[in-house]
Amino acid sequence: MKAKSLSPESKLIEYKEFLDNYERFLETVVAFSNTQGGDIIVGIRFDNIAIGLDDEKLRKYHEELPQAVADAIVPQTHVEIFERAINEKVCLVVRVYPGPGKPYYLKKLGYPKGVFLRYGSHNRLADDFAIDEFDRIKKNLRFEELLVTQLTINDLDPQQIKEVETSIGERAFINLGYLANTPSQKICPNQAAVLLFHPNPEQYIAESNVMVTHFSGTDNKNIIKREVFNSGLLKQFKSSFQYIKNIIGRNARLQEARMEYQNFEYPLDVIREVLVNALVHRAYGYEMPIRVSIFSDRIEFLNSGTFFAPIHEETLRFGLSRYRNPLIANAFRRAKLMEKQGIGINKIFEGCSNAGLLLPLFQEIENFVKVTLFNRIFSQKRGVLRTNLSYSKYVAIFTNHNHLSSQQFAKLIGKSQSTAKNILRVMIEQHLIVRFGSGRSTIYKILEDMR
């Protein structure tokens, strides 16, 4: 029986062929504990093939790993260790749970230098922003709840407030959670109120704006134009959304003294949902604007903050959702710019699929989330050939082969090697296959869970 390649490493999975020392293993335990948990699977080769462990190694790890974790990590974290047969090979699984005592750190490095986080398939030392977040969590505070003591409700824009609440009085805003008392009994707005309703929130929360850049090609070398949108978040959304529409629209016509566009390159509902999600879920303590980059073949939305637990790439399409900024989310709902929790992501996937576009790409990159939308020309160029051979048939071809080169795949589907490479590239983006090697030695394998 041919060995099957496993799904690639991710935010929730790390593979090890064996553990020659426990240093990197312990870093991963800390990183998983501080984020969303995960499995460290020992007995998996570099190409994601299970080779298993012999009895001696299994016995050694069962005896030593629990004590190594107990001795090295503060506060005490819990791991579960068990054996699992993968492709008829016995591997060891170390299951790490997201701990209640965050932040966890390596005792020998101390706090905060020993704090690690999981980003994608890698571990990284926590930066100052993450440490500040942990400190707020200990105090049961969110960034949006911090008071801006130099301001009062009179500093907020009544017109922007009316989009959320008809009553502009202090009592109504205290009940909604946007105002609170300081220790000296002064009533002040919090960060959420400033972000939503102040005429220029950037004066108090650095770079809390949206930057839209239009490029002439597929890279960032030649800028056509760039616009930065300030003011409250509701106004930022409306202004930046209209600006994006003007760029991606075709066939403009004059309507009510202004130009209106039709025939958009992307479904407007999808653009709307991605932009709302960026504004609602952004980590506003991290000083960087929301960056929208419009290229000739795609739009990229780059937003500060990782996926908010328990959300990650693998669970996005199941409608799971959790708000980093519930006060901001509530304002968008009250302004009828956002639907109920968990619907937006599904609308993004369905909107792209219904329009015949490649599915959007959600990526967690260090302290950022990037969402990429592909337009119709790019989707067709990269092999979304719905009228020809469906991707289910491409997948079926791979189920009968351990691995294939692009040349072998081209012969099997009766296409040129150039077309085959385009199809393989799309299948990688759709998480159907994985690529190993480079140059002439490049091979492609199907993921285990697609078989």
Range in 104-118, 228-242, 246-260 the model is least confident about: 246-260
Q: Which of 197-201, 233-237, 318-322, 341-345 has the lowest mean pLDDT?
A: 318-322
pLDDT at 237 over 60: yes
Q: Per-residue confidence at 384, pLDDT binned at 50, 70, 90?
A: very low
As a whole number of angstroms, the distance between CA 94 and CA 86 comes to: 14
* Predicted local distance difference test score (pLDDT) of residue 449: 41
Q: Regarding the domain delimited by 210-380, which CATH topology (the fold level of the hierarchy) does it fall under?
A: Heat Shock Protein 90 (3.30.565)
| Contact (Cβ atoms closer than 8 angstroms) between residue 344 and residue 266 | no
- Least reliable range by pLDDT among 16-20, 71-75, 305-309: 305-309
pLDDT over 70 (residue 434): yes
Which tokens belong to 444? Answer: 């492609």
Residue ranges covered by each domain of the chain: 13-138, 143-200, 210-380, 386-450
Residue 169 pLDDT level (bands cut at 50, 70, 90): confident
Task: Identify the pLDDT of residue 121.
Answer: 81
pLDDT at 258 over 60: no
Average pLDDT estimate for 94-120? 92
**Structure confidence at residue 322 as a pLDDT band (50, 70, 90):** low
The reported pLDDT for the residue numbered 391 is 62
Q: Is 259 left (phi over 0), alpha (psi -120 to 50) or beta?
A: beta
pLDDT > 70? residue 447:
no
Residue 253 has pLDDT above 60, yes or no: no
Query: 40 exposed, middle or buried (CB, 10 Å; 0-12, 13-18, 19+)?
Result: buried
Predicted structure pTM score = 0.73
Between these two residues, 183 and 42, which has the higher pLDDT value?
42
More confident residue, 361 or 92: 92
pLDDT tens-digit readout, 335-361:
998 876 556 777 888 888 888 888 888
Q: For the chain, give the mean pLDDT.
A: 85
> Distance between terminal CA atoms of the chain?
14
Q: Which CATH number fits domain 13-138: 3.40.605.10, 3.40.50.11820, 3.30.70.20, 3.30.950.30?
A: 3.30.950.30
Q: Name the least confident of 24-33, 253-262, 434-443.
A: 253-262
CATH class of 386-450: mainly alpha
The reported pLDDT for the residue numbered 387 is: 33
pLDDT above 80: residue 51: yes
Most confident segment among 63-77, 168-182, 317-331, 417-431: 63-77
Residue 40 phi/psi, 5-degree rounding, is -100, 115
Q: What is the mean pLDDT of residues 177-206?
A: 92
Residue 257 pLDDT more than 80? no
pLDDT at 228: 96
